[in-house]
A = this chain, B = another copy of it.
Amino acid sequence: MRSFHLEIRISPRPGLLNPEGNAVQHALESLGYDSVKDVRVGKTFYVQLSAADEDAARTLAEDMSRRLLANPVTEDFRIEVSELAEVPA
């Protein structure tokens, strides 16, 4: 098994209600940042896992995103996979 690092980036779909982003925008405005036009907030999961190869790691990540990490109705996700170098003992 090889070790992989995944970055799973979850972002809200455009056009949906965006309460968290609006709250952050208002907080920024109250600090004087009035050039801000729009704020949206997403999440990133940094995951380390073992898998046979990069394809298997990506398939696992897609599966986890659909089943748990992302809300398929309101969120999109994007996955980056990189292999972790083996550290010699």
Contacts and interface: CB of A to CB of B under 8 A. Distances in A.
Given A49-B36, A69-B24, A9 B44 contact: yes
A51 interface: yes
Contact of A28 (B28, B43, B68): B68
A50 to B, nearest CB: 5
Interface residues of A, number: 32
Contact of A45 (B40, B47, B50, B51): B40
- Chain B CB within 10 Å — which of A35, A40, A43 has the most? A35
A39 B46 contact: yes
Interface string A8-37: 010100000000010010011001010111
